Amino acid sequence: GVDGKDFYFVHSYHAVLDDIDNLSATADYGFDVTAAVSKDNVFATQFHPEKSGVPGLKILKNFVNLE
């Protein structure tokens, strides 16, 4: 996992979810904002894993290795 790591966000926009069951990760901006969501075989992030150093590469590697 990558709990407690820092990730690169390029803006302050964030999704507000209708269904909290789809929430996969949050980020702390003084309050929790949606950082990642997933449903069925769809996974999306509000941040840039490719610009987030080793933790971001770990997320991409985990994604590639999903079965």
What is the rounded distance in angstroms from the CA atom of residue 46 to the CA atom of residue 36?
6
Residue 8 CB partners (closer than 8 Å, separation 6+): 47, 48, 51, 52, 56
- The domain containing residue 58 runs over which residues? 1-66
Number of domains the chain is built from: 1
| Structure confidence by residue, pLDDT tens digits, 49-60 | 777 888 888 888
Two tokens at 51?
Answer: 């610009």
| Structure confidence by residue, pLDDT tens digits, 23-65 | 988 888 888 888 889 999 888 888 887 778 888 888 888 878 8
> What confidence category does residue 1 fall into, taking pLDDT thresholds of 50, 70 and 90?
low
pTM, 2 dp = 0.72
| Core vs surface per residue 14-37: b (16+ CB within 10 A) or e | beeeeeeebeebebeeeeebbbbb
